[in-house]
Amino acid sequence: MAAENILVAPSILAADFGHLAADLQKVIAAGADWLHLDIMDGQFVDNISFGPAIVKLVRGLTTLPLDVHLMIQRADHYVPRFIEAGASSITVHVEPEAKHDVAETLGLLRARGCRTGLTLNPATPFAAVEPHLPTVDLVLIMTVHPGFGGQSFRPEMMAKVRRARELRDSLGAHYDIEVDGGINAKTARLSIENGANVLVAGTSIFKAADYAAAIRNLRGG
């Protein structure tokens, strides 16, 4: 089997916000494929990050795809602002605590020409996303409980990655399979072996001395 193209999406949550533009230029030059932007509202998750203004600022720095991960309530209400700010894909949560109609939000994204992503917390069974799989462009398997960077990878989530891959084949679907949380060279390898093709990584890239080497190591050297 030909080696699959593995995409690396640095999570800017771990970047140096005092020198954000310079730090992002550095990670882009180091070979990032996408940039991952974590939006947290202090309600759906117990942390507050940033909003559309930062997405717009990042859009002004690069033409790379901006992969926006909404960890917020009422995504249906907020997605237009993130699309206008320059999101390329928007990933929403399937849990009832996210307080939106998932099918409706995905439809809204599609109608606006934005790539659609769906994700689930570690505690949520994969069955929750299954009804939506034929219509999404990306499935994000959370490998930590969302809200904070720097947590430890949960290897038991690999069963969900394998299920996403099996169903993609059996449905003839084309969605990306992305992992997010605690991704370093070792856990990236495990994720790729189980079927992931997009790796989100904050700490293991932005806390490394050499971003290019860190990105290369995530892809498997």
Contact pattern from residue 70 through residue 109 relative to ligand DX5, giving x for each residue in contact according to CB under 6 A and a dash for the rest = ----------------------------------------
In 31-136, which ranges are continuous DSSP H helix? 52-59, 75-85, 102-111
Q: Which of 200, 214, 215, 218 binds ligand DX5 (CB under 6 A)?
A: 200
Nearer to ligand DX5, 157 or 200 (CB): 200
Nearer to ligand DX5, 69 or 219 (CB): 69
Strand order from edge to edge, sheet including 66-71: 7-10, 198-201, 176-180, 138-142, 115-120, 89-93, 66-71, 35-40
Structure tokens of 43?
Answer: 């309600």
Active site positions, annotated:
38, 180
Phi/psi region, residue 219 (left: phi>0; alpha: psi -120 to 50; beta: rest), is alpha
Stretch that binds ligand DX5, among 25-33, 107-115, 123-131, 174-182 (CB under 6 A): 174-182
How many binding residues for ligand DX5 (CB under 6 A)? 22
Q: Which of 94, 180, 215, 218 binds Zn ion (CB under 5 A)?
A: 180
> Any contact of residue 23 with Zn ion (CB under 5 A)?
no
Query: Token pair 């809204």 is at which residue?
Result: 108
> Any contact of residue 178 with Zn ion (CB under 5 A)?
no
- Give CA–CA dist 63/127, Å, rounded: 35
> Any contact of residue 135 with ligand DX5 (CB under 6 A)?
no
CB atoms within 10 A of CB 152: 10
- Give CA–CA dist 103/80, Å, rounded: 16
Q: Is 4 exposed, middle or buried (0-12, 13-18, 19+ CB in 10 A)?
A: exposed
Q: Quick one: what does residue 131 bind among Zn ion, ligand DX5, none, with the CB cut-off 5 to 8 Å set by partner type?
A: none
Q: Quick one: what does residue 147 bind among ligand DX5, Zn ion, none, with the CB cut-off 5 to 8 Å set by partner type?
A: ligand DX5
* Contacting residues toward ligand DX5, per CB under 6 A: 11, 13-14, 36, 38, 69, 144, 146-151, 180-183, 200-204
